[in-house]
Structure 1
């Protein structure tokens, strides 16, 4: 049963303190504190900002956003889990009917994984993901972090992307616009340097190396530290992977990126529809919060 929120929105009827309300569930300040202690006792603790600094308070705010996203994902996984029909994008977005569990909202990522596993095939578990800078920049750090940690989030992402596979024209156009991704420049194996490409060395040494034939000895050539004698042992010509060889890889990448963007939009919409953050737990980028460090 959901614990009652006080009229001021500051706590439960039984005295708990709320950090966020997520639909019919709550995340308590105690749960946030517990997660923050785990984070600060982990292997990256030395890299984290001090708790009493603006950056430290914003780290806490960011953690609340992650916990909210985990809870939204867990709610959706629980709602979809018992259904026998396959998960489709048409079924996403309706509010969860799962009973509130405010004392476990901080463990929503684990709940989501368990719910997914117990769905009798309704939500196929997506493969493991890696949190990357590119992913965080593309979707925002919260969405990227939840996708990396939660199989249920990745299942939702896959469902949202279903039916929107990139067309052949889109795949081919990507290849044409990004030929450098599939090209390997000429590489010369030079003793004593090893493999060398243009731009990796400079001046007379580069000129001599790239003017030589395979097996030729060049020098002495004036360079850093004095004259150099070099042997061009092997030359690998520049090459480009043909479209046919990379077509499926491009298709998979574009489909994944489309799904990630769809997931981020879904998460934003659910957040706007069903989340209330209490003072002190705003998004770190919210310009209204006192520790916001990015203003125009």
Structure 2
């Protein structure tokens, strides 16, 4: 609830349209891999808060990924860009690859840039949330759930 309120305020401050409340039936499901990447508190906030999702989307859209970073990612992660034929032959980037073993950079460039922009947006969201929560004072006994600085943040009332 705190993250939702903070996100609503941030949306208002940024001139973003604050989305309407959602009914419990329309709560967004968050994939398990995203929960692992985001952490349970942020994943729960994104699942239940349209304002948090709007803010995250805005932060992602603001990110600029330099071409050098995209190319560097492609070069350092060749295992992700092996062609199906190369995979069937058992080619690994550790044993050396031929140019025809890799999907061409131009074909995967946009997907890489999108992935890096998404990661940078999440990082910006985490930074925003840490800073926004810094000014929140909880009533004694209500520091949790949701406050990772509290030793019992997973406790449920």
- TM-score bucket (shorter structure): 0.5 to 0.7
Equivalent residue for 1:172, pick from 71, 86, 89 = 71
Partner of 2:88: 187
Question: Would you say how many aligned residue pairs link Structure 1 and Structure 2?
Answer: 138
Match of 1:259 in 2: 121
Give the 3 Å change call, closer, same or farther, for CA 113–262 of structure 1 in structure 2: same
Distance change in 2, residues 1:132/1:80 (3 Å): same
Residues 147 and 153 in structure 2, CA contact (< 8 A), matched pair in contact too:
no
Shift of 1:290: 9.8
SS at the partner of 2:30? coil
Please give the per-residue CA displacement for 1:189-229, whole angstroms capped at 9, x wherever unaligned.
xxxxxxxx69xxxxxxxxxxxxxxxxxxxxxxxxxxxxxxx
Alignment gaps of 5+ in structure 1: 1-66, 88-111, 116-128, 189-196, 199-237
Task: Check the 8 A contact 1:70/1:146 in 2, yes or no.
Answer: yes
CA deviations 1:223-249 (Å, max 9, x no partner) are xxxxxxxxxxxxxxx842111100000
Compare CA radii of gyration and give the structure with the larger one.
1
Residue 45 (structure 2) aligns with: 146
The residue correspondences of 1:76-225 to structure 2 (distance < 5 A) are 76-77=10-11, 79-80=12-13, 83=15, 87=16, 112-114=18-20, 131-183=30-82, 184=84, 185-187=86-88
Closer/same/farther in 2, CA of residues 155 and 288 from structure 1, 3 Å limit = closer
Match of 1:74 among 2, 5, 8: 8
Change (3 A) 1:176 1:273: same
Take 1:186 and 1:250, find their aligned partners in 2: how far apart are those partners?
Answer: 20
Cα RMSD for the two superposed structures: 3.4
For 1:251 and 1:276, the matched residues in 2 are separated by 39
Displacement after TM superposition at 1:291 (Å): 7.9
Deviations 1:60-91, CA, capped at 9 Å, x for gaps: xxxxxxx22122223333x348x5xxx5xxxx
Post-superposition Cα deviations, 1:246-282, rounded to whole Å, max 9, x if no partner, equal 0000101110111111111111111111241532543
- Output the CA distance in 2 between the equivalents of 1:134 and 1:291: 19
- 2:70 and 2:112 in contact (8 A); partners too: yes
Structure 2: which 5+ runs fail to align?
A: 22-27, 92-99
Q: Greater helix percent: which structure? A: 2
Aligned to 1:24: none
